[in-house]
Structure 1
Amino acid sequence: MLWLKAFHLIAIICWFAALFYLPRLFVYHAMSEDHTSRERFKIMERKLYRGIGTPSLIATVALGLWLSAGNWDYYRASGWYWLKMALVAVLIVYHFVSGHYLKQFRDDRCQRSHVFFRWFNEFPVVLLVGIVILAVVKPFH
């Protein structure tokens, strides 16, 4: 079970690395004014989202469900677990919203400003804080 937990944590770290960096790339992409820079950002964003972000999301969810199944009676009755799962669900939506913006940038039709993406970039931090506190402190059962 410890190996499973270790790989789950590795997947989480990789996923969050992508969730933190992709919107930062969007900031720079939205600020870019030349064709060469915009094309470079498109490649970086696509590789990060498809090559790291999405596979890490899948691994995180799969390993998390596997861990949960190992002690399902406990998790099923724990309020903190369900709140954590709700935050993870919001994070998954955030991931796919990021994919939506990636497609808009790819098609040269994103109308959002670099200021928007600076704020957008902060959202997963809030979710991370909540998820970690719930998983570690388990404030209510």
Structure 2
Amino acid sequence: MTDVLSTLYPWIKAFHIMSVIAWMAGLFYLPRLFVHHVEQSDNARIEETFRMMEKKLLRLIMNPASIATWVFGLCLVFTPGIVDWSMVWPWTKAAAVLAMTWFHHWLALRRKDLEKGTNKVSGRQYRMMNELPTVLMIVIVLSVVVKF
């Protein structure tokens, strides 16, 4: 199996990068949709449009992209010679990816709250949470590129 992973390494890496880009796009955009949804909730037609957009973004783009990111990422982890677990960088990257995954699930729960009309998070709070994926992305990129 490891021979296959080594042979396919450039392809796996390319698909990992593409899936990360798609996942990150959703992680950046969904909280912004929530901000506008919360702040425009007085119009039923607009609110229904937001619900539809949020659901499709999460289910059709973010969920498949996050799964692909994890699958290709784990393939990279198990490729011989790629990860040196005695260094700090794989641990910081792993922690940031776990935090990113937590954020994804937190957003999914907030989408359900918005759909049910039980949202308790303000537009300002969504704006603040929208910064989390940027911070995590910085940690991940620096970890992988600089390998500190």
**Fold shared, TM-score > 0.5 on shorter chain:** yes
Q: Deviations over 1:30-88 (max 9, x none)?
A: 01120011111000000000110011000000000001101268433332101110110
The answer to whether 1:35 aligns with 2:44 is: yes
The whole-number CA distance in structure 2 between the counterparts of 1:43 and 1:117 is 18
Residue identity opposite 2:26 in structure 1: A
| Structure 1 residue matching 2:53: 3-state secondary structure | helix
Q: Give the alignment partner of residue 57 of structure 2, picking from 43, 48, 57.
A: 48
Q: Deviations over 1:75-127 (max 9, x none)?
A: 33332101110110011000000001000001011021111111111111000
Q: Which runs of 5+ in 1 are unaligned?
A: none
Identify the residue that residue 105 of structure 1 maps to in structure 2. 114
Q: Is the 8 A contact 2:26 2:58 kept in 1?
A: yes
CA RMSD of aligned residues (A): 1.2
TM-score (norm 1): 0.95
Residue range with higher mean Cα deviation, 114-123 or 64-73: 64-73
Structure 1 stretches of 4+ moved >6 Å:
none
Q: Give the alignment partner of residue 29 of structure 2, picking from 13, 16, 21.
A: 21
Q: Give the alignment partner of residue 89 of structure 1, picking from 98, 103, 109.
A: 98
Identify the residue that residue 136 of structure 2 maps to in structure 1. 127
Identical residues among aligned pairs (%): 37
| Structure 1 residue matching 2:121: 3-state secondary structure | coil
TM-score (norm 2): 0.90
Identify the residue that residue 137 of structure 1 maps to in structure 2. 146
Residue identity opposite 2:48 in structure 1: E
66 and 132 in structure 1: CA distance in 2 versus 1, 3 angstrom threshold: same
Residue range with higher mean Cα deviation, 23-32 or 111-120: 111-120
Residue identity opposite 1:115 in structure 2: R
Q: Which runs of 5+ in 2 are unaligned?
A: 1-8
